Structure 1
Amino acid sequence: MKKILFASTALVATAGVAAADLTWSGSGRLGVVYTEDNTPNAQETYLDHRFRLTVNGVTETDGGVKFEGRIRWQADDSSDNGAGATGGAGAAGFAVSTGGFRVDVGHVSDVFDSGDVVSWGGNGVGYTGFLDQAANFEGFRKQGFGNGAADAQTIKGLYSISDFTVNASYTLNDRDIAGDDDSWQIGAGYNFGAHRIGAMYGDNGDAHASAGSQWAIGADGSFGDFSYTALVGDNDVTSDAGGDIMVGLSGAYAVSAAGTVTGFVSTGGASSNDTSYGIGYAHSLGGGVSLAAGVGSNSGGNTQADAGVTFSF
Structure 2
Amino acid sequence: MKKVLFATTALIATAGVAAAEVKFSGYGRFGLGYVEDRSGTVPNISTSGGVVTTINSAVVDTDDAILVSRFRLNIDGIVETDGGVRFEGRVRLQADEDSSTGEANSAGLNGARFSVIFGGLRVDAGNVAGAFDNLANYYGNEVGLELFAGQYSGVDYSFLGYSSTGSGSNAVFFQYSVGDFAFGASYDQATVGVNGVATDADRWDISATYTFNNITAAVAYGQTDAGISGVSDPSLTVLTLGAEFGDFSGTLFVADDATEIAATDGTAWGLSAAYNLGAATTLLFTYGDGNADADLQQVALGAIYDLGGGASLRGGIGVNDCDICADSTIVADFGAQFNF
Normalised by the shorter chain, which TM-score bucket? 0.7 to 0.9
Aligned match of 1:127 = 145
Kindly provide the amino acid, as one letter, of the partner of residue 217 in structure 2.
Answer: I
- Residues 1:141 and 2:159 are matched in the alignment: yes
The answer as to whether partners of 2:145 and 2:336 remain within 8 angstroms in 1 is yes
CA RMSD, aligned part only?
2.6
Larger radius of gyration: 2
The answer as to whether partners of 1:111 and 1:187 remain within 8 angstroms in 2 is yes
TM-score by length of 1: 0.87
The answer as to whether partners of 2:297 and 2:321 remain within 8 angstroms in 1 is yes
Q: 1:296 aligns with which of 295, 299, 318?
A: 318
Alignment of 1:165-244 (within 5 A): 165-174=182-191, 178-206=198-226, 212-237=234-259, 240-241=262-263, 243-244=265-266
Deviation at residue 120 of structure 1 after TM alignment = 1.7
User: Secondary structure of the equivalent of 1:37?
Assistant: coil
Q: C-alpha distance in 2, partners of 1:144/1:236?
A: 22
The answer as to whether partners of 2:160 and 2:188 remain within 8 angstroms in 1 is no
Q: Output one character per residue of 1:156-184: Cα deviation in whole Å (capped at 9) or x when no partner.
A: 11111000000110013459984232301
- Are residues 274 and 67 of structure 1, via their aligned partners in 2, closer, same or farther at CA, if it must alter by over 3 Å? closer
The answer as to whether partners of 1:199 and 1:218 remain within 8 angstroms in 2 is yes
Identity %: 36
User: Secondary structure of the equivalent of 1:179?
Assistant: strand
- Are residues 180 and 311 of structure 1, via their aligned partners in 2, closer, same or farther at CA, if it must alter by over 3 Å? same
Aligned match of 1:78 = 98
Kindly provide the amino acid, as one letter, of the partner of residue 265 in structure 1.
Answer: Y
Q: C-alpha distance in 1, partners of 2:131/2:102?
A: 35
The answer as to whether partners of 2:112 and 2:167 remain within 8 angstroms in 1 is no
Kindly provide the amino acid, as one letter, of the partner of residue 189 in structure 1.
Answer: T
Alignment of 1:1-313 (within 5 A): 10=13, 13=16, 19-40=19-40, 42-115=62-135, 118-147=136-165, 149=166, 151-174=168-191, 178-206=198-226, 212-237=234-259, 240-241=262-263, 243-273=265-295, 275-300=297-322, 301-313=328-340
Q: C-alpha distance in 1, partners of 2:277/2:190?
A: 47
- Are residues 179 and 119 of structure 1, via their aligned partners in 2, closer, same or farther at CA, if it must alter by over 3 Å? same
User: Secondary structure of the equivalent of 1:139?
Assistant: coil
Q: Which has the higher strand share?
A: 2
Q: Which runs of 5+ in 1 are unaligned?
A: 1-7
The answer as to whether partners of 2:153 and 2:295 remain within 8 angstroms in 1 is no
Deviation at residue 220 of structure 1 after TM alignment = 0.8
Q: Which runs of 5+ in 2 are unaligned?
A: 1-10, 41-60, 323-327
Question: 261-270 vs 94-103, which deviates more?
Answer: 261-270
The answer as to whether partners of 2:192 and 2:200 remain within 8 angstroms in 1 is no
Deviation at residue 236 of structure 1 after TM alignment = 2.2
